[in-house]
Structure formats: structure tokens, C-alpha cells
Structure 1
């Protein structure tokens, strides 16, 4: 039984950057369960598992465009420093959560601080990165 679009599957995985740095793994946890083709995972991962057999391991080399996308300058925003209040003490590289107008919160990274502004990067953490996943199919869930 090979994986088809629409199947619910469980996989173990390890995600690495092209320099070998591991950024995520299911090791020591339950397998990742998702519905293939539903957009629950990045497109390159979703497409990469199609046709896998139970017990099979694949290495998925996923370009940035099929992962979290390229970094976008539109996702960089400079905010007047006074909006952070007088006690603002964060540093470049730190993450903050900001609230959007619709009430949702998103993580941002401080990428620059000067006398007048704090520049925030709202790109996904792995945007612009090519990713490599080692994926083992554990189960195709039968409904």
C-alpha cells in the first residue's frame, strides 16, 4: 500500500539545513500525523511522501520555494522605538510575539535597533533556506 494524496499518514522525520544543522526531529516523540495534500505540512514534504511504502525511508531535498518560501522584504517592518515603551531592553536576534489587527499573534525577530526604530522580521524562521528531511513512513491510517 503506497501513500496517495488524501491519505492520513504517520512519519518519523529529521529536518536539517544544507550545512547539516538539525532544526527539528520527531525522535523521542510520537510520529507526525498529517493528511497528505491538505497543506498541513510544507509543499515539498507533502509531495515527497507520495508513493512511499510502510517502513520506507526517503531523503527529501526541498528547495526554499517548496518549503517556507524565499525571504521577503515586505515582511520587514521598522517600528518607532517609542512604541515599545521606555523599558524596552531586547536585543538583535531575539524573538517577540506581536499581535495583528485580527487578534492573531505571530513571532517576529528583531533584526536591527537604532535610536529611532526597531526593525522586525516577520518572515518564517526557515524562509530562504533549502531543507533536507529524512522521512520514514510508519503507518497509513485506515479510517
Structure 2
């Protein structure tokens, strides 16, 4: 059975950025389980899984536009210290949930500290990166 949209698949994976650095893996854990076509996964990952069979292994290269997209410098901003709760001092690299004026929340990473606040980056950590996935299909069910 070859994987197609609507199928539930279980996949073991190793994610590398294009210089070969491993940034995530399901090794030693349960396989990733998702339904093809439900939009939960990045397009390049889903496209790479479609047509694979249980037990099959494959390496897929995913360009930026089919991964997390290009970096958007408008998503890097200064957050004033006086907007932080008293006693709260974020650390470099810390991810913080912030609220937009419309009440929706988003996550940003602290990338710098200035006298008056913090430099925040709301881009996905892998934005602007080509990705490489080593995949193994564990199971496919309709």
C-alpha cells in the first residue's frame, strides 16, 4: 500500500539542516503519527511521504518554500522591559509566548538584550533553511 492523502501514517525521521546538523529525530521515541493532507505537516514533508510504502526508507530535500518559508525581518522587533511582569528577566534563546492586540498569541525567541528591552524574533527557528529528512515509514492505514 502506498501512502496517499487521507491515510494515517507513522513515520520515523531524522531532520537535518542543509549543512548536515541534526536538529530533531524520532530515534528512541514513538514514530510521528499524522494524517496525510490534513495540513499539520509542512508541504515538503507530506509530499515526500506520499507514494512511500510501509518499511520504505528515503531521504528528502525540502527547499525553504516547501518548509517554513523565508525569514521575515519584520518579525524581529524590540520588546520594552516595562511591558514585562515585575521581576521577569528573559534569557537569551528563551521562547516566550506574547499576545497580539487582537488577543491571539504567538511565540518569539529572545535574541538580544538592550538597555530598554529585548530583541525578539517571531520567525520559526527553521525559517530560511533548506531541510533534509531521513524517513522510514512504519505503518500506513486508510
Larger mean CA deviation between 85-94 and 55-64 belongs to: 85-94
Residue pairs, 1:101-140, within 5 angstroms = 101=101, 104-140=104-140
User: Hey, what's the Cα distance between the residues in 2 that align with 1:85 and 1:28?
Assistant: 39
Deviations 1:9-33 (A, max 9, x none): 1111111112222111111222111
- Give the structure-2-normalised TM-score: 0.88
The structure-2 alpha-carbon separation of the partners of 1:102 and 1:8, relative to structure 1 and needing over 3 Å to count, comes to farther
User: For 2:115, what is the secondary structure of its paired residue?
Assistant: coil
User: Hey, what's the Cα distance between the residues in 1 that align with 2:34 and 2:88?
Assistant: 40
- Give the structure-1-normalised TM-score: 0.87
User: Hey, what's the Cα distance between the residues in 2 that align with 1:93 and 1:11?
Assistant: 29
Q: Give the CA deviation at 1:86.
A: 5.3
Q: Give the CA deviation at 1:100.
A: 3.7
Larger mean CA deviation between 26-35 and 129-138 belongs to: 26-35
Q: Which residue of 2 aligns with 1:30?
A: 30
Q: Give the CA deviation at 1:99.
A: 3.2
CA RMSD of superposed structures (Å)? 1.8
Q: Which residue of 2 aligns with 1:15?
A: 15
Q: Which residue of 1 aligns with 2:60?
A: 60
